[in-house]
Amino acid sequence: MENLTQNDEFVVQESSAPSKMQRRSFLKYAGAGAAAAGMLVASACKKHHDDNNTVDVGSGDIGVLNYAYALEQLEAAFYTQVVATPYSGMSPAELTAFTEIRDHEVLHREFLKAALGVNAIPALGVNFGSINFADRASVLAAAKAFEDTGVSAYNGAGYIISNSTYLGLAGKIVSVEARHAAFIRDLINYNSFADSSVIVDSSTGLDTSRKPSQVLPIVAVYLTTNLTANQLP
Amino acid sequence: MNIFSIIEEIEKVDPEFQDRISPRRDAIKNITSFGSKVAVAALPFALGALFKKAYGQTTVGDVNGTLNFALKLEYLEAAFYNTALNTPGLIPAADLAAFQTIAAHENAHVSFLKAVLGSAAVTQTSQGTAGVYDWTAGGTLPNYFATKDYTTFLIVANAFEDTGVRAYKGQAPFIIGNQTVLTAALNIHSVEARHASHIRTIRRKAGNGTTPKSWITGANDTGFAGIAANYAGEDNTMQGGVDVSALINPVTGAKFSASACTEAFDEPLTYAQVLPLVQPFGVK
């Protein structure tokens, strides 16, 4: 039995295809049986590119994880830019918080990339032309949109996941996104952390969930890659 | 699969396991006596029955068990915030709207879960003493409602919300693949996380400091040692077989900080871990 905790085996490779070891370890830890492993290998052989500029996330659990990886790529790139070019008047406390959020999102991205291994979709092209990074209101509005959309995407895709380890990982990430969402909302308008724009039905007190087909049009404006999830429900 | 070695393993971490499943160990004796007659394929079901007896919860698919557990936690939270709103002088005016929002959500979660469970729902009066909780958790906390001690109230709220997030997270695998129930649970889970974030922000502002952050750093960042058990395991850095503390942050070219590694992932708690945390308040 391989030692699953040898750190050097999990260092992210520069290439888009991390070592075979990463994928194998992840599957072993997840307790995936031979059937599931076969399914994953099969999906690894599937082309993610339909043409030069279209990326489909794939199907099943790998499809959901790639969908998450795509959203984390977007959030990570956004916050990297926010911290690299702070808006005018960004307070030290805000810079600290945005740096922390950036690190969380970059870590989510790097973790999913390592976990997916050869099954990972390629790096997506981003276009933040609609965001004015010099303006606090523009940045906070975009951050709120990314976080609320991210929460709704994880909430709406959870049921598609069939492996309990993967579901657990999605759960570990989504509540951190919800913490971010509430924090950003409080920066924009104090006490709007869970207002009626996200908890739409006050009689149930439930957050918003969205299907991939509802999320993709929201994020398309920030992508130069044509991201599809044609094999997810 | 060796059921006896499994039970031995459990006993190492839970010495009372055998007493828990049967004071006279009848359950084990029964397994021994019929073990030779049942097919190996039936053993998982036998094990499931054992664990249900031990921890009050079965394995995957026990939807009502999962939802009733959630309902008990929501009864607790709703009563907690209702009591706070009915205690004049406890909540400063600036935070009143936030707690009205949070209380409304918890009461709505109660109504929602009761509606989903129907006649299978546990009653509120089955909790505490005829539905009344002990907010001092058996005398381990000061009587913050009586003394209008907002600081302690916020710490308890902080712990309740973070623990609620962890509890829902721990239940997700039991309702895996159930589009309606899992999605509803996830939609409650993220609301609790929004509450937790805001209550942490209130505490940070009240203290004019930088802690607690809106996200959980390491194991117990609340500044209150008495609730360390609510945060046990939050310092985990092994995620799905990947040691995230070994990953490189391409932005900095260095490994992610220890804080970032634990903040980026919230950790689950099992039913067996959550119950002792809320039993002192009267959750049954």
Element at B195 (helix H, strand E): helix B179-206
Q: Say how many C-beta atoms besides its own lie within 10 A of residue B50's C-beta.
A: 22
- Preceding omega of B276 cis (within 30 degrees of 0): no
The dihedrals phi and psi of B256, each to the nearest 5 degrees, come to: -65, 150
* CA pair distance B229, B211, nearest whole angstrom: 19
* CA pair distance A18, A31, nearest whole angstrom: 20
Q: Hey, what amino acid is at A24?
A: R
Cβ–Cβ under 8 Å, residues A203 and B111:
yes
Does the CB of A144 have a partner CB in chain B at under 8 Å? no
Q: Which residues pair with B249 in a beta bridge?
A: B254
Is the pLDDT assigned to residue B35 strictly greater than 50? no
Closest chain B CA to residue A25: B241
Confidence of residue B95 (pLDDT cuts 50, 70, 90): very high
Distances (CA, A) of B184 to A204, A207, B7, B35, B258: 9, 8, 34, 40, 33
Per-domain residue ranges for chain A? Answer: 15-228
Does the CB of B113 have a partner CB in chain A at under 8 Å? no
**B183, A176: Cβ pair inside 8 Å?**
no
Closest chain A CA to residue B265: A172
Strands A54-56 and A226-228: parallel
Confidence of residue B26 (pLDDT cuts 50, 70, 90): very low
Q: What is the pLDDT of residue B59?
A: 54
Closest chain B CA to residue A2: B241
Percent of chain B with pLDDT over 70: 79
**A183, B214: Cβ pair inside 8 Å?**
yes
User: Looking at chain B from residue 24 to 43, which residues have their Cβ under 8 Å from any Cβ of chain A?
Assistant: none
Confidence of residue B10 (pLDDT cuts 50, 70, 90): very low
User: Looking at chain A from residue 14 to 43, which residues have their Cβ under 8 Å from any Cβ of chain B?
Assistant: 22, 25-26, 28-30
The CA distance from B80 to the nearest CA of chain A, in Å, is 17
- The sign of the CA dihedral B226, B230, B232, B233 is negative
Q: What is the pLDDT of residue A91?
A: 97
Q: Hey, what amino acid is at B42?
A: A
What's the rounded mean pLDDT across residues A142-164?
Answer: 98
Query: What is residue B224's three-state secondary structure?
Result: coil
Partner residue facing A103 (CB), from B238, B240, B249: B249
- Give every CB contact of residue A56 below 8 A, 6+ residues apart in sequence: A48, A50, A228, A229, A230, A231
HEC profile of chain A: CCCCCCHHHCCCCCCCCCCHHHHHHHHHHHCCCHHHHHHHHHHHHCCCEEECCEEECCCHHHHHHHHHHHHHHHHHHHHHHHHHCCCCCCCHHHHHHHHHHHHHHHHHHHHHHHHHHHHCCCCCCECCCCCCCCCHHHHHHHHHHHHHHHHHHHHHHHHHCCCHHHHHHHHHHHHHHHHHHHHHHHHHCCCCCCCCCCCCCCCCCCCCCCCHHHHHHHHHCCECCEEECCCCC
Does the CB of A66 have a partner CB in chain B at under 8 Å? no
Percent of chain A with pLDDT over 90: 78
* CA pair distance B123, A159, nearest whole angstrom: 28
Q: What is the pLDDT of residue A52?
A: 76
**B108, A172: Cβ pair inside 8 Å?**
no
Query: What is residue B132's three-state secondary structure?
Result: strand
What's the rounded mean pLDDT across residues A201-230?
Answer: 98
Q: What is the pLDDT of residue B61?
A: 66
Q: What is the pLDDT of residue B262?
A: 98
Does the CB of A180 have a partner CB in chain B at under 8 Å? yes
**B172, A22: Cβ pair inside 8 Å?**
no
HSE on the CB side for A51, CA within 13 Å?
Answer: 5
In whole angstroms, what separates CA A43 from the centre of its chain?
20
The dihedrals phi and psi of A18, each to the nearest 5 degrees, come to: -60, 165
Q: What is the pLDDT of residue A51?
A: 64
Q: What is the pLDDT of residue B62?
A: 86
The fold adopted by the segment(s) A15-228 is: Ferritin (1.20.1260)
Copy the structure tokens of residue B174.
């039991």
Q: What is the pLDDT of residue A221?
A: 97
Q: What is the pLDDT of residue B28?
A: 36
The CA distance from B139 to the nearest CA of chain A, in Å, is 31
Query: What is residue B129's three-state secondary structure?
Result: strand
For A81-107, the pLDDT digits (tens) are: 999 999 999 999 999 999 999 999 999
Partner residue facing A175 (CB), from B169, B247, B260: B169
Per the prediction, chain A carries an average pLDDT of 84
**B198, A194: Cβ pair inside 8 Å?**
yes
Q: What is the pLDDT of residue A142?
A: 98
**Nearest-10 Cα torsion for B107, B108, B111, B113:** -110
**B268, A174: Cβ pair inside 8 Å?**
no
Enumerate domains of chain B plus CATH numbers: 3-55 (no CATH), 63-231+266-281 (1.20.1260)
For A20-74, the pLDDT digits (tens) are: 334 434 433 333 333 333 333 334 444 455 567 999 999 999 999 999 999 999 9
Closest chain A CA to residue B213: A97
